């Protein structure tokens, strides 16, 4: 089937991955599979133009492709007891960047995802001016 006749991708997160270059798309697919496996009860959607997973109304993890690689972001990552994430922003977010698939440490990723499922920053309260953990 030619590219011109390819079926449109209906799932927005799959479409996001498909729109990236091949190396970044592979990273996005691998991250999505790991996130979906670890956060079975989470809802996912494109939020602020990137794939994000929510527990309740709170964003917990997402990723976005940049020219240098794919950035995996945990909204409460600065509060995790596990090393390897870089603090980002004025709240409690932390991230890691992957330039290729070989950089993804499966054990660390599973640990961060497990942590993200219970260590949740109450984003809704932040938006309402009340900073507290969920």
Domains defined along the chain, listed by start: 8-127 (3.90.1150.200)
Residue 109: which residues within 8 A CB-CB, separation 6 or more? Answer: 31, 34, 72
Is the predicted pLDDT of residue 131 greater than 80, yes or no? Answer: no
Average pLDDT over residues 65-79: 96
Whole-model pTM?
A: 0.87
What is the pLDDT, as a whole number, of residue 2?
45
What is the pLDDT, as a whole number, of residue 134?
47
What is the pLDDT, as a whole number, of residue 30?
97
Average pLDDT over residues 53-76: 96
Band (1; pLDDT cuts 50, 70, 90): very low
Question: Which stretches of 1-134 are assigned E, i.e. beta strand?
Answer: 43-47, 50-55, 58-66, 69-74, 86-87, 94-98
- The alpha-carbon radius of gyration of the chain (Å, integer) is 15
């Amino acid at each position: 089937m030619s590219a011109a006749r390819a079926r449109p991708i209906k799932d927005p997160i799959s479409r996001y991955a498909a729109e990236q270059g091949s190396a970044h798309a592979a990273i996005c697919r691998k991250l999505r599979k790991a996130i979906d496996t670890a956060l079975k009860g989470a809802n996912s959607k494109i939020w602020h133009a990137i794939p994000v997973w929510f527990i309740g109304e709170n964003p917990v993890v997402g990723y976005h492709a940049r020219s240098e690689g794919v950035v995996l972001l945990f909204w409460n990552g600065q509060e995790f007891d596990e090393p390897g994430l870089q603090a980002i922003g004025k709240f409690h977010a932390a991230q890691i960047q992957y330039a290729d698939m070989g950089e993804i440490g499966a054990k660390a990723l599973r640990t961060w995802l497990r942590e993200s499922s219970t260590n949740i920053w109450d984003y809704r309260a932040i938006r309402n001016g009340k900073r507290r953990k969920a």
